[in-house]
Amino acid sequence: MRAWSAPDVPTLPATGPSVRIHDTATGKLVETSPQGTARLYVCGITPYDATHIGHAATYVGFDLLNRAWRVAGHEVDYVQNVTDVDDPLLERATKVGVDWVALAERETELFRQDMQALRVLPPAHYVGAVESIPLVVAMIERLQRLGAIYQVETDLYYSATADPRFGAISRMEREEMLRLFGERGGDPERAGKRDPLDCVVWRGERKGEPAWDSPFGPGRPGWHIECAAIAHEHLGNSFDVQAGGSDLVFPHHEMSAGHGQVATGADFSQLYAHAGMVAYDGEKMSKSRGNLVFVSALRNSDIDPMAIRLALLRHHYRDDWEWTDAELFDALDTLEGWRSALALGAGAPAAPVVEAVTAAMADDLDAPTAVAVVQAWVDATVGTTGLADTSDREAADVVRRLLDASLGLAL
């Protein structure tokens, strides 16, 4: 599928430091070590409703990784999927009486516009589940030959424990896995399974649901094999970072890594990065709960997308936090101050700002620290902290480029 248009990324006077990021599987900060081109997979949307602030926080969060790598001199091969056929999408389409294909296309298009407005760098490969069915079929056949697949009625299941490393990413007790599996699209109660945690990889055709022909009969792909097959096709084995929100740690990332590892024998990804959950009205913002703030609704009420982005950047990507309108209005005020300072041209010395911001971003994408560094430069430049410092004639130009390249804020 088509992604969205890429914004320009200005070059900086110096190359940034190498990037460390928190790895869920080890619970540690790990130095990424891309061999030339960095390879990143971020799980994409299930397009049955508009992009909300929680989605935006996750995609902006990993956009900071993309940018930190580029600032460090790497090219980045970025892949993202679109779960354009799955239970929640089909259920919503039926409920509101629209064609599921039209619903998915409409919401995917809105997502592209939201991402573009927020200056999220587009993936090099933006790939739908439907268009990837041949890849999914090939991966299931490979897993079948390796003895990791069995049949229950017309459905095919993957044995979670076929991967000896099963559990190594989420590191959860079995109780917890069972609970989350049930909550997040799994079917622990299904009769005929060998292990309640086994997940479906091919769902045989049901009346009224779309289906595609395959060597296993008509049906559609399971969710985890979709990402395993797409990541493997476009990024190969042991790519640098598999990312998504923390609600994907289990079962999604555990299972898709398992599929990939059994199929190839190699590590699926080198590390697993997860963003915190954004809440609203006291609960995780989610399509199923309906407590949503849509990016498109804010844009439609003339909110500057850069203020939305700044409001997101003020929270560390790994934290769980709650969205408030007050923080958005505060971000609008802050941007006004930053723009006035940049308009002066000369300002406080920019070189230490470049060093501190790129260092913060390379240290587990510490955007709140980077934002504070910029604020200190603005304060020094306009004299809030004493006499105005306009000793660096090139300062505004350098800081403007830095804000755009590292933080995705074009001012």
What's the CA gap between 139 and 142, in Å, rounded? Answer: 5
The answer on whether 45 is annotated among ligand-binding residues is: yes
The answer on whether 46 is annotated among ligand-binding residues is: yes
Peptide bond into 13 cis (omega under 30): no
Given the rule CB under 6 A, which residues bind ligand 5CA?
A: 43-46, 54-55, 57-58, 81, 83, 227, 244-245, 247-248, 275, 277-278, 284-286
Q: What is the dihedral of CA 68, 71, 75, 77, to 10 degrees?
A: 20
Applying CB under 5 A, what is the total number of residues that bind Zn ion? 2
Name which of residues 138 to 177 contact Zn ion (CB under 5 A): none
The answer on whether 52 is annotated among ligand-binding residues is: no
Residues 300-339 as x/- pattern, contact with Zn ion by CB under 5 A: ----------------------------------------
CA atoms within 13 A on the CB side of 112: 17
The answer to whether 43 contacts Zn ion (rule: CB under 5 A) is yes
The answer on whether 291 is annotated among ligand-binding residues is: no
- Determine the 3-state secondary structure of 149 from DSSP: strand
By C-beta, is 119 or 203 nearer to Zn ion? 203
The answer on whether 66 is annotated among ligand-binding residues is: no
Q: What is the dihedral of CA 3, 19, 360, 42, to 10 degrees?
A: 30
**What is the smallest separation between the CB atom of 209 and ligand 5CA, expressed in angstroms?**
18
The answer to whether 227 contacts Zn ion (rule: CB under 5 A) is yes
**What is the smallest separation between the CB atom of 205 and ligand 5CA, expressed in angstroms?**
22
Supply angle C-alpha 251, 364, 281, rounded to 5: 60
**What is the smallest separation between the CB atom of 231 and Zn ion, expressed in angstroms?**
8
Written as six digits, the tokens of 184 are: 């997040």
**What is the smallest separation between the CB atom of 199 and ligand 5CA, expressed in angstroms?**
13
What's the CA gap between 254 and 256, in Å, rounded? Answer: 6
Written as six digits, the tokens of 144 are: 């079948």
DSSP H or E stretch at residue 172: none
The answer on whether 222 is annotated among ligand-binding residues is: no
Enumerate binding residues for Zn ion (CB under 5 A). 43, 227
Annotated binding site for L-cysteinyl-5'-AMP: 43-46, 58, 81-83, 223, 245-247, 278
